């Protein structure tokens, strides 16, 4: 028998028919949703986005992503990586091939352009013929991609193929941030979090255009970063955490992985070594760092203010120099945070002496100092930033000390504890969290204006907003997400959106729309009764 000879001609018509049917099937599959969509919900309005875009001009026909859509990127290899990131998200949920191509018209286009977009801004133009994101930098394109995600139905966040239609409302979004610094802090000292857990949080931060990840790498309970010249910091000082767990630390390779991943999401890592207080993990690792030469035991409780580096000893500055040198070498970002809070066991003159000696070390290794706002009680170095973590009811004298430093050139990052400390309980019933700054429900966390928060501070001194997450009560990603969501989204909006776009009533409706996205992303958020979440 020569089956091939006879079969081919007979099979061909079948093949053709199957192909035809498939094509018709595709058309039918794609046409049905369109018919549905015509009678059903319009696409998501261009302004239903968090952070609220600077300006939105709706109008024209929506763009629809189909099986034939291409992602076109003209520009650098880095811009192509942003295109690949977008295509990766869209392929999973649409099931479409969405090939990445170069020049050409139509489809989803990402382009770099010398226009007036700022370092992180972008423009999104949507119409029947395509969607174009334009920015001066890949970071701008990346932020535009986050906007694009939120303009597609929440099913776009699923990991498997979903039904469309995948439409983006017609019109233009022009957007750029209010502040250059939009941070989130994760305390990896009180509880240790793995590289995978940190990466997961980075992806969540990127959704809201956060561009700084501040890692609180050392505290009384744990030292979390390998330092070659002082190896016991990590191996001994890192082997505990609150509650007595095993803790852990990042090897230099781990840390570089975090930095690289953050960079791929356009976040800068800001490492913090908290000094001279909050240093029990270091003091317990090396007896010679203590004024009395006796190493204290490791600490796994949650008290603060009992430890201090030994300000008069020379070895203290050898230690600081080594640590800062090695950490600076691992850090491509501009900043190095030296803590400086709650130094209740350091005398004031010692505190000032310590800061006078340590800030120049940071500069020598090419970094800019950030310190908690107690630094303004010493002599902040030229160019240093102070991170304000007071409350509405912080005393006038302390606020004025910060404001005065700001008038003298110290930049401010605002983290008012009774608004954006993500570790505060929402209500008395919250399953984890602290209460020292008060209960912070979603509205309270959002309802303040960073530009007008501290009296007597010039506009130009406010460099941004950061939402810290201290982790005395936080043990895993589910805990992180419960406290960070939804409040983190509000902090991100305060950092990005112009003052005139802020407002609780509009915000809460936009926030409600994030709920189904978070469900699809597996983010386990707190369903605050203050927000009109759609039913699940
Ligand atoms: C105060 S905020 C601290 C931290 C605690 C936090 C708990 C700051 C600079 N210091 O040591 O973890 O409160 O909310």
Find the CATH number of the domain harbouring 438: 3.20.20.80
Cis bond before residue 165 (omega within 30° of 0) = yes
Average pLDDT across the chain, whole number = 93
114 with 209, same domain: the answer is no
- 136 is a domain residue: yes
Q: Is 434 in the pocket of ligand 1 (CB under 6 A)?
A: yes
Strand blocks (E) in 77-196: 100-101, 107-112, 122-127, 130-135, 166-168, 171-175, 181-187
164 with 192, same domain: the answer is no
Q: Is 299 in the pocket of ligand 1 (CB under 6 A)?
A: no
Please tell me the distance between residue 379's alpha carbon and the centre of ligand 1 in angstroms: 22
Residue 486 has pLDDT above 90, yes or no: yes
Best substitution site from 470, 471, 474, 487 to test ligand 1's pocket, by max atoms within 8 Å of Cβ? 470
Residue 24 — very low, low, confident or very high, per pLDDT cuts 50/70/90?
very low
- 291 is a domain residue: yes
Mark out the alpha helices in 241-347 (DSSP H runs): 252-264, 280-285, 314-330
Residue 13 has pLDDT above 50, yes or no: no
Sign of CA dihedral 463, 458, 388, 53: negative
Ligand 1, residue 274: give the atom nearest the CA: 9
Rounded to whole angstroms, the maximal C-alpha distance in the chain is 100
Ligand 1, residue 372: give the atom nearest the CA: 9
- 24 is a domain residue: no
**Each residue's pLDDT tens digit, 145-163:** 999 999 999 999 999 999 9
114 with 208, same domain: the answer is no
For residue 41, the model assigns a pLDDT of 77
Residue span of the structural domain in which 64 resides: 55-175
Q: What is the CATH number of the domain that holds 64?
A: 3.30.379.10
Look at residues 132, 156, 175 and tell me which one is the last residue of a structural domain: 175
185 with 170, same domain: the answer is no
Cis bond before residue 196 (omega within 30° of 0) = no
Q: Is 427 helix (H, G, I), strand (E, B) or coil?
A: coil
189 with 336, same domain: the answer is yes
Q: Which residues contact 230 (CB under 8 A, 6 or more apart)?
A: 285, 286, 319, 322, 323
146 with 196, same domain: the answer is no
For residue 9, the model assigns a pLDDT of 40
Average pLDDT of the residues in 371-390: 98
170 with 186, same domain: the answer is no
Tokens 């139509």 correspond to: 106
Average pLDDT of the residues in 83-101: 98
For residue 32, the model assigns a pLDDT of 46
* Closest CA to ligand 1's atom 9: 341
156 with 272, same domain: the answer is no
Alpha-carbon 211 to chain mean position: 6
Please tell me the distance between residue 258's alpha carbon and the centre of ligand 1 in angstroms: 23
- 206 is a domain residue: yes
Ligand 1, residue 278: give the atom nearest the CA: 11
Q: Which residues contact 22 (CB under 8 A, 6 or more apart)?
A: none
171 with 190, same domain: the answer is no
Best substitution site from 189, 274, 304 to test ligand 1's pocket, by max atoms within 8 Å of Cβ? 304
Please tell me the distance between residue 233's alpha carbon and the centre of ligand 1 in angstroms: 21
* Closest CA to ligand 1's atom 2: 389
Report the alpha-carbon angle 496-498-504, nearest 5.
90
Lowest mean pLDDT among 18-22, 114-118, 291-295, 428-432: 18-22
Residue 334 has pLDDT above 90, yes or no: yes
Ligand 1, residue 470: give the atom nearest the CA: 12
150 with 280, same domain: the answer is no
Please tell me the distance between residue 189's alpha carbon and the centre of ligand 1 in angstroms: 12
160 with 202, same domain: the answer is no
- 102 is a domain residue: yes
For residue 17, the model assigns a pLDDT of 42
Please tell me the distance between residue 470's alpha carbon and the centre of ligand 1 in angstroms: 7
Ligand 1, residue 415: give the atom nearest the CA: 2
Give, as one character, the DSSP assignment of residue 204: H
93 with 194, same domain: the answer is no
Average pLDDT of the residues in 53-59: 98
* Closest CA to ligand 1's atom 12: 470
* Closest CA to ligand 1's atom 7: 470
Task: List the one residue out of 54, 155, 150, 71 whose CA is nearest residue 511.
Answer: 150
Number of structural domains the chain divides into: 2
Look at residues 175, 199, 221 and tell me which one is the last residue of a structural domain: 175
Lowest mean pLDDT among 33-37, 84-88, 247-251, 414-418: 33-37
- 384 is a domain residue: yes
Judge residue 452's burial from the number of C-beta atoms within 10 Å of its C-beta, 0-12 exposed, 13-18 middle, 19 or more buried: exposed
Taking 3-state DSSP, the helix, strand and coil percentages for the chain, each rounded to the nearest 5, stand at 40, 15, 40
**Each residue's pLDDT tens digit, 123-146:** 999 999 999 999 999 999 999 999
Q: Which residues contact 348 (CB under 8 A, 6 or more apart)?
A: 377
For residue 40, the model assigns a pLDDT of 60
- 128 is a domain residue: yes
Residue 30 has pLDDT above 70, yes or no: no
Look at residues 175, 192, 214 and tell me which one is the last residue of a structural domain: 175
Q: Is 388 in the pocket of ligand 1 (CB under 6 A)?
A: no
Share of the chain above pLDDT 90, in %: 91
Task: List the one residue out of 481, 467, 476, 469 whose CA is nearest residue 519.
Answer: 481
Q: Which residues contact 347 (CB under 8 A, 6 or more apart)?
A: none
Please tell me the distance between residue 53's alpha carbon and the centre of ligand 1 in angstroms: 32
pTM for the model: 0.93
- 250 is a domain residue: yes
Q: Is 372 in the pocket of ligand 1 (CB under 6 A)?
A: yes
The more confident residue out of 344 and 6 is 344
CA 283/CA 77 separation, integer angstroms: 47
């Amino acid at each position: 028998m020569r089956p091939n000879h006879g079969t081919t001609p007979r099979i061909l018509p079948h093949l053709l028919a199957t192909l035809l049917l498939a094509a018709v099937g595709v058309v039918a599959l794609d046409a049905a949703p369109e018919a549905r969509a015509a009678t059903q919900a319009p696409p998501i309005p261009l302004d239903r986005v968090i952070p609220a875009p600077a300006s939105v001009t709706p109008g024209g026909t929506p763009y629809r992503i189909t099986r034939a859509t291409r992602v076109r990127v003209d520009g650098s290899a880095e811009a192509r990586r942003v295109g690949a990131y977008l295509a990766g998200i869209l392929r999973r949920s649409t099931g479409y091939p969405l090939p990445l191509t170069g020049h050409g018209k139509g489809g989803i286009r990402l382009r770099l352009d010398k226009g007036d977009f700022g370092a992180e801004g972008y423009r999104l133009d949507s119409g029947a013929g395509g969607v174009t994101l334009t920015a001066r930098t890949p970071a701008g394109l990346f932020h535009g991609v986050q906007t694009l995600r939120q303009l597609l139905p929440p099913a776009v966040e699923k990991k498997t193929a979903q039904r469309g239609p995948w439409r983006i409302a017609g019109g233009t979004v022009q957007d750029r941030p209010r502040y250059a610094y939009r941070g989130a802090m994760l305390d990896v000292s009180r509880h240790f979090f793995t590289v995978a857990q940190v990466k997961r949080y980075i992806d969540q931060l990127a959704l809201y255009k956060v561009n700084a990840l501040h890692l609180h790498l050392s505290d009384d309970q744990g030292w979390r970063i390998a330092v070659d010249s002082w190896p016991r910091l990590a191996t001994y000082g890192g082997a505990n955490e609150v509650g007595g767990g095993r803790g852990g630390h990042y090897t230099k390779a781990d840390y570089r992985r975090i930095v690289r991943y953050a960079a791929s999401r356009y976040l800068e890592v800001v490492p913090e070594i908290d000094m001279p207080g909050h240093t029990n993990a270091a003091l317990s690792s090396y007896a010679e760092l203590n004024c009395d030469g006796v190493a204290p035991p490791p600490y796994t409780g949650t008290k603060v203010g009992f430890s201090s580096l030994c300000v008069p000893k020379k070895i203290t500055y050898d230690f600081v120099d080594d640590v800062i040198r090695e950490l600076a070498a691992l850090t491509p970002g501009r900043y190095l945070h030296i803590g400086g809070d709650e130094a209740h066991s350091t005398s004031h003159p010692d505190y000032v002496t310590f800061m006078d000696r340590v800030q120049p070390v940071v500069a020598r290794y090419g970094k800019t100092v950030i310190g908690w706002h107690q630094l303004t009680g010493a002599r902040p170095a030229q160019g240093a930033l102070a991170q304000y973590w007071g409350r509405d009811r912080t005393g006038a004298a302390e606020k004025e000390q910060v404001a005065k430093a700001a008038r003298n050139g110290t930049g401010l990052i605002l983290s008012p504890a009774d608004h954006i400390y993500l570790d505060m309980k929402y209500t008395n019933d919250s399953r984890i969290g602290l209460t020292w700054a008060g209960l912070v429900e979603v509205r309270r966390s959002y309802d303040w204006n960073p530009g007008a928060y501290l009296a007597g501070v010039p506009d130009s001194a406010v460099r941004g907003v950061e939402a810290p997450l201290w982790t005395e009560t936080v043990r895993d990603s589910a805990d992180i997400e419960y406290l960070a969501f939804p409040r983190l989204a509000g902090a991100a909006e305060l950092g990005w959106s112009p003052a005139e776009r802020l407002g609780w009533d509009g915000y809460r409706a936009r926030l409600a729309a994030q709920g189904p996205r978070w469900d699809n992303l597996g983010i386990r958020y707190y369903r605050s009764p203050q927000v009109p979440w759609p039913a699940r």
